[in-house]
Amino acid sequence: MKLKKLLMFLVIGAFVTVLAACGGKDNGNDTGSEESSEETSGNSIDTQEGGSEELEGIVEIDGSGTVFPLMSRLAEEYMVNEQQGVSVEVSRAGTSAGFKRFLEEGGTDFNDASREIKEEELAKAEELGIEVKELKVALDGLTIVTHPENDWATELTPDQIIGIFLGEYTNWSDVNADWPNEPIHTYGPNENHGTYEFFYENILEEQDLREDVNLQQEYSTLVTLISEDVNSIGFFGFGYYVNNQDQVQAVHVDFGEGPVEPTLDTIAEDGDYAGFTRPVFTYLNVNNAKEKPQVLDYAIYCMENAADFAGETGFAPIPEEEASALVEELEALQ
């Protein structure tokens, strides 16, 4: 009898111990157990063991072809190493065309831009009730390129470049009497691209390009045309030049203190090529960032990591303190 009572006591004691252990485990995870099955705007959030959120859903990005190499590289790293459940879709319709998709009902989450957003675009955002946040991601150097066999126009001043694209010079010999008496053929990205607008507004000061300029939507087409025309001269972002150095060459620009080659060092904010340097951006739909956790998470990731991938994609990084300040502003949206 005593033996039976002893055995019963031991069994009850063990059972209570198991219940206590289970109860303690539940209390330690009561935020994760409910949130792991939560649905936010059609996007599920699971809590991983380390406490970080495992996200699902889509992030839609369009815009600048110039910024595309950097943003697609960031998207690749994010999907592989950060959030395997998130699909980041990056397109490159061009800055202006991208803003049209961004500023509509159900538009994209981000618009990459090689120029600042315009007043009329901000007015459209306000009309639609879209809160927009500008995120400066890197620095780009507008690069003037020619055919690799062009051994005469290897160095130009800004005034000479402007004169060429305004049509003030018809032949190379008009720029310099020692150069070939051959017609100059000009090339560039079309009006859908922020690079075109930057060149038109900041370099040409809103003077019309020559009538026979060959403007293209695709940068790959632009590179091919320039590489096949010994009398060509064109312009695009430094990254496209870096990735196509086997097909085109960069003109060294003399801003007054001798010719400067565009490089990662010279296109920095305080670099010698600063006269043709510009910031590039991605614009965030804050409404979407507040509704879709993966959108805000990706925005924060971009600002924390853009500097790590800037150089390999042909950009100079922005100062660390600028990036950190933007990360803090984004985190405040959580």
Model pLDDT for residues 5-48, shown as the tens digit of each residue: 333 333 334 433 333 333 333 333 333 333 333 333 445 455 44
User: Which helix (H) or strand (E) element contains residue 62?
Assistant: strand 57-63
Can you read off the two tokens belonging to residue 71? 């943003």
Can you read off the two tokens belonging to residue 304? 């924390």
- Cα–Cα nearest to 283, from 116, 149, 133, 126: 133
Question: Which residue's structure tokens are 């995870």?
Answer: 29
Q: Residue ranges per domain, the chain?
A: 55-139+280-331, 140-277
CATH no., domain 140-277: 3.40.190.10
State the amino acid at position 1 in one-letter form.
M
Can you read off the two tokens belonging to residue 142? 């507008």
What's the CA gap between 203 and 222, in Å, rounded? 20
pTM of the full structure:
0.81
Can you name the CATH fold of 55-139+280-331?
Answer: D-Maltodextrin-Binding Protein; domain 2 (3.40.190)
pLDDT at 46: 55
Positions of the chain with pLDDT under 70: 1-52
Residue 93 CA, chain-centre distance (Å), reads 13
